[in-house]
C-alpha cells in the first residue's frame, strides 16, 4: 500500500511525497523522509531563512562541522595515546576525515 497525501500536509511534504514516489522509493522510506520534511516545514522558515537552515542541516547530516576546525585539544582525539598508531596522530572529533600530526595546529583531510 503506497502512502497517500494527507489533506493537512504542507505543499513541501506533498512535493516530497510525489517526488519520492516517482523515484520509486519504498513506502517506509517515503513516510520517514516526509516526517523529516514536515518537521522542517513546521519550523516556519521564510524564503530568506530556509536556505540557511537547509545548508546547516545538510552539513550536520553529513557529520560536517559548521565552522573551521581549531587546535583546541578538546576537538582532537589522540590516536597514538590510544595505541591505535605507531606515530603521533590526532583525529578530529568534529570531522572524522581530519587528521593531524601536531595536535590540530595543522591537519589534512582524507578526501
Question: Are 25 and 57 in a shared domain?
Answer: yes
Question: Are 15 and 56 in a shared domain?
Answer: yes
Once rounded to an integer, what is the mean pLDDT over residues 89-96? 98
Question: Are 56 and 15 in a shared domain?
Answer: yes
Question: Are 15 and 57 in a shared domain?
Answer: yes
User: Which domain covers residue 49, as residue numbers?
Assistant: 11-61
Question: Are 57 and 78 in a shared domain?
Answer: no
**Res. 110: pLDDT tops 70:** yes
Once rounded to an integer, what is the mean pLDDT over residues 44-53? 93
Question: Are 56 and 91 in a shared domain?
Answer: no
> For the chain, what's the residue count?
111
Amino acid at each position: 500500500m503506497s502512502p497517500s497525501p494527507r489533506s493537512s500536509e504542507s505543499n513541501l511534504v506533498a512535493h516530497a511525497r510525489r517526488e519520492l514516489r516517482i523515484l520509486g522509493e519504498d513506502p517506509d522510506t517515503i513516510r520517514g523522509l516526509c516526517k523529516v520534511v514536515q518537521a522542517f516545514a513546521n519550523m516556519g522558515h521564510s524564503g530568506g531563512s530556509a536556505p540557511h537552515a537547509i545548508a546547516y542541516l545538510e552539513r550536520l547530516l553529513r557529520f560536517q562541522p559548521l565552522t573551521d576546525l581549531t587546535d583546541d585539544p578538546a576537538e582532537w582525539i589522540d590516536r597514538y595515546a590510544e595505541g591505535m598508531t605507531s606515530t603521533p596522530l590526532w583525529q578530529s572529533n568534529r570531522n572524522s576525515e581530519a587528521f593531524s600530526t601536531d595536535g590540530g595546529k595543522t591537519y589534512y583531510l582524507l578526501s
